[in-house]
Amino acid sequence: MPLQDWHYVRVDTAQKILVVYGTLSIGYGFALGIPISQARMGSPEASRHLVIAHLSAIIQGAVHLGLSLALGLSQLTAWLETAAALFLVTGSALFVAGATANWLQGVGDHFAERSLGWKLFAASSVGHIAGIIVVIAGVVTGV
């Protein structure tokens, strides 16, 4: 499709949710580069939880942008696609919040400590699994 025809492409609510969250997530990940740089100015390494928050926000943001395109192939009902997008966004937000919480609280081993970050990580899996199952089903049945 020529670039000038892109304004004819239908973008549904689920895709918009994924694009908005993906963009915000990438922005948050980039912003976390500042405290990483500050930490590295005085030390050869930064908190692993800070690095995880930084990288996961950027990677998950890009994944959400990609999934927004994948949903264009889906033939599922709009409400189901929107629910999947909300599950995915919730899962990703909880994951990044978990890593951020671990960093801010100076957590060492979040598994051993059962920190707030660990609890947020655990909760994130529900949204990620539920959301991606629906997206996969929509893409596979839509092609």
Residue 131 burial (10 A CB sphere; 0-12, 13-18, 19+): buried
Tokens of 58: 């950027």
> pLDDT (tens digit, 9 = 90+) per residue, 68-127?
999 999 999 999 999 999 999 999 999 999 999 999 999 998 888 899 999 999 999 999
Torsion of CA 55, 58, 64, 69, to 10 degrees: -120
Distance CA 142, CA 76 (A): 8
Which residue range(s) make up the domain with 84?
Answer: 22-142
Within-domain flag for 12: no
Distance CA 126, CA 130 (A): 6
Within-domain flag for 37: yes
> pLDDT (tens digit, 9 = 90+) per residue, 58-71?
999 999 999 999 99
pLDDT at 10: 65
Within-domain flag for 42: yes
Within-domain flag for 8: no
pTM as predicted: 0.90
Within-domain flag for 10: no
Residue whose token pair is 């694009």: 19
